[in-house]
Copies of this chain bind each other. A is one copy, B any other.
Amino acid sequence: MVNNDIKQLDQIFSALSDATRREMLSRLAEREMPVWELAEPFNMSKPAITKHLKVLESAGLMKRSVQGRTHICRLTSSPLSEVADWLAFYEKFWSKKLDGLDEFLTSRKGE
């Protein structure tokens, strides 16, 4: 459903709009790790970490597997492909330094 896609994009972009969460993804890109290890670089309380993880999880960017008392987190990158799809449409603009029709026309003045 298209409407779901929109909501999903909302969630994904929103999840990515926080530097802490982006760094979490970056760490998980290297390897999976338990919450306590993932949290190490962040000067932040445990509940704050829990919240960030929930955001990533409900955006589909992370999954966890519970092993005893530790939760192993791993990157699930597939939602990023939707961002890439969205972005692909705009690539022609910046790659050609072309921002809207006016600049296109401007760039053709000398032809």
- A residues bordering B, Cβ < 8 Å? 6, 9-10, 13-14, 16-19, 22, 25-26, 28-32, 63, 74-78, 80-81, 83-84, 86-87, 89-91, 93-95, 97-103
Contact = CB atoms under 8 A, between A and B. Distances in A.
Contact of A19 (B9, B19, B76): B9
Residue among A9, A16, A74 with the most chain B CB within 10 A? A16
Specify how many copies of this chain sit in the oligomer.
2
B76 A80 contact: no
B87 A74 contact: no
B87 A75 contact: no
A31 B101 CA distance: 5
A13 B6 contact: no
